[in-house]
Structure 1
Amino acid sequence: MSNNVHSASAPAEIAASGAFVRQANRFSAAFGAGPGELPAEQGRYRLIWSAACPWAHRAVIVRRLLGLEEAISLGTVDPLRPALPHTDWAFTLDEGGQDPVLGIRYLSEAYLKADPAYSGRPTVPALVEIATGKVVQNDYFKLTNHLETAWAPLHKQGAPDLYPVHLRGEIDRLNEVIFHDVNNGVYKAGFARSQEAYEAAYYTLFERLDELEERLSRSRYLLGDALTDADVRLYTTLARFDIAYYTAFRANRQRLADYRHLWAYARDLYQTPGFGDTTDFAAIKQHYHLSVLISAEGSNPYRILPKGPDLREWNTPHGRDRQYPGQA
């Protein structure tokens, strides 16, 4: 996944305290015309994602919002991990079990083409150069910002400015907090291997959600009257909260649906083109509850898929367009 890991096979990501420490991204080149930078060129790259993964999902949302579908093709891996000796993603959703453009069966093949000595987990999102078959960018933290800036000449007419210059400092500060305490906070709780590490992550996560709840009582979006990159990043965790993190990751003080403003905000985004139409709840549920690695750890040994929650609630009226009529 993104950086989803559900097994004891990655001790480098568990600190002595039992806390989960996410691996660093190996391919982090920026886009541009400078030395070592990647050209933002139509048709040059293929974006590989898993619909289950929040880190990859946000890149796909931004790609859709900015109209980059023709510029960057999209490949999708199976939300269920393949039964291999190593952690990987597989193209079993495609005919013949291989990506129709790259001709590979497992994402690790593109990582090893880029670096034959690569020993980390192959993660999504991964931007693969089609001509060479090599992963050239997997920096999920910066990728949406690159799409919003360096790729601007290829944006559709009327595309939203998700990373406006005058708000970049504030967006960056908010994104940093959301990443550590919410996006990655649920993983810190879910992958903790000590009670102390779990509780620290748990309390920090809900303290931050409480703060965001209060913030969203004052404006339609996180930074006022228009969507920004920060909203995309928060949404992908909220979309997975009740269906996965609340149970599978023990983030269970309360559900997203128990928050008045966060729940209405999440539904507002879900009902906005680019968000709900890229949200695959079935894939999310399969990944977090049926992964062979989860089952191997014993948390769901009989691979039973939960029936709830009722997904029809995502399409109920949210009222935020009426609550903040001056905001669009």
Structure 2
Amino acid sequence: MTSFILRGFGLYAPEKVLTNADLEKIVDTSDEWITTRTGIKERHVAAEGEASSDMAFESSKQALAEAGIDPSELTHILCATFTPDSMIPSAACRLQEKFGITGQMCMDVAAACSGFLYALQTARGLLCLEPKAKILVVASEVVTRRMNWEDRATCVLFGDASGAAVLTAGEPGDGPEVLDIMLAADGSLGDLLTVNGGGSAYSYKLGEAVGPEYFVEFQGREVFKHAVRSMTDISEAILERNGLAKSDVDVLLPHQANYRIIDAVGRRFDIPEERVFSNIHKYGNTSASAIPVALAEAVHTGFIKPGNLVLIPAFGGGFTWGAALIRF
């Protein structure tokens, strides 16, 4: 039976850092307010002219180098993002161009903060059809370009970053193995977290002013409630499907949206804080990039150790959510 092996990890965050103190000068907020409610201390902001595919290129180079795979060997490029460079071409095609390669299947995956898990599951399906495939799975988000900097409840939460991994078929023991992924969605709740502007349901004309609908809008309390419940429920389901108990989990690596959500999920799984990976204080919520950035950092810093079973729950707009089990 085919095993799905993660061959390498990479991450990239823009050089510019926006601290809570910086935000105090932009909007009516405070470091104390942001920190106590979200756990965020700073976030990275893309440079002028820096796009999603530029960041994806940097994280992908790291992942490919770690995997020992040349870009020309890739068969598929999947990019999870809701902030592509353009509607057409896709961010995946832009990234392919940056590598100077052609012929690969290139596709963007739009599932907001759950996007990396959605793309990773898509890659697993492709490997079942094409066992010799070498697939780059990258997430890249320039969320700050979709921020209303007058909305203090929203603009403090998000940052820009990219994370990448390479997935191939292999044998158990070849490297970190993706054991299982479960995904779900509920479109009836979609209006609780939106970026409507630019979509076909929202007509606009040349020269019109940009309105708040072009930026992230959400109902925080409702999103929080659904995020905790959905990530907990699907995590319990994936453990049960694989005959595992909560006590079998060595590391919990949840989507980095809000430290209160991270803490709530950890408590429901009785996982002590020292086994819950979080880097939200440095990056904020980077949407689809949050999980691969956290994975790369957790691996490269030794937080995740060989043999560890890692549980990765995610939740995002749509609503979409999911969970993955990876054995390192």
Under TM normalisation by the shorter chain, which class is it? 0.3 to 0.5
Q: Is the strand fraction higher in 1 or 2?
A: 2
What is the TM-score of this pair, normalised by structure 1? 0.33
Q: Is the helix fraction higher in 1 or 2?
A: 1
Question: Highest relative contact order (Cα 8 Å, sep 6+), 1 or 2?
Answer: 2
